[in-house]
Structure 1
Amino acid sequence: MMIIRDIEMAREALADALWWFKGFAAARPPSIDEGSGEHVALENQIREVRNFLGSINRASIRRLGEETAIVLTFAEFERLVDAVRVPRPAEMQAAIDTVEAVLAEYRIEEASARNLDVPF
């Protein structure tokens, strides 16, 4: 069993799974409707996972799970660390700007994740 340690390893594992499933699907006898097989649905789900992992890597999403994590790029994290290590006005302002931008993006994602049809 492989232990996935980063996004690239996860993407490679998904690519291997896709390759295997495509080979498995090719070895199956043709069905009546080839485009609606389970393998097509599974391939689409795996592609969605790959896209999600890529969005984490690019920090194009901020909210991860139900308030379990906020995604930051390393550069954003460095700005926060610099403000803590060297609390000069320029570093503090860069950290404040970073936190405000990330928080605004997080809140937008949080609002869109809520089911507004639920009355409680």
Structure 2
Amino acid sequence: MIRDIEQAHAALADAIWWLKGFAAARPASIDEGAGEHRQMEARLQDVRNWLHSLTTGSFRRLGDEKAIVMTYAEFERFVDAARPAATWDDLKLASDTAKTILDAYRDEATRSRGLEIPF
């Protein structure tokens, strides 16, 4: 069972490696369907790239569930601002972080599907 993005990357890397080997071992005389392996490899690489974008916070929307992705560092800023001993700088940093994430989310939602933004 995959529990984190690193495990997902490893599983995809294994699948891509297998597909490359399978395609390389395929006899050159078989032309029909030869491109299917390359297409599947490209699709798996797209999934791997998408997972990487979630890890880095360069992609904010997670499906149609309207979930917002944030990095651990961004999450820590919110935690710091929620503590009783939070300073004005902590609150400002959390506010700036929220604005950055929300702006990116809105941009992706309107650019990708023209969805109505819930907030």
Runs of 4+ in 1 over 4 A off after TM superposition: none
What is the rounded CA distance, in whole Å, between the counterparts of 2:31 and 2:18 in structure 1? 22
Q: How far did 1:88 drift?
A: 2.8
Unaligned runs of 5+ in 1: none
* Correspondence 1:42-57 to 2 at 5 A: 42-57=40-55
Q: Give 5+ residue unaligned stretches, structure 2.
A: none
Q: Report how many aligned residue pairs link the two structures.
A: 113
Residue 87 of structure 1: CA displacement? 3.5
Secondary structure in 2 aligned to 1:72? Answer: coil
When normalised by structure 1's length, the TM-score is: 0.84
Q: CA deviation at 1:115?
A: 4.8
Query: Pairwise mapping of residues 1-120 of structure 1 onto structure 2 (< 5 A)?
Result: 3-30=1-28, 31-32=30-31, 37-85=35-83, 86-115=85-114
Query: Which amino acid in the other structure matches residue 105 of structure 1?
Result: A
After superposition, the C-alpha distances for 1:88-115 in whole angstroms (9 at most, x for unaligned) are 3221111111101110111000101225
**Whole-angstrom CA distance in 1 between matches of 2:110 and 2:71:** 22
Alpha carbon RMSD of aligned pairs, Å?
1.9
Cα offset, 1:69, TM superposition: 1.7
Distance 1:105 1:67 in 2: 16
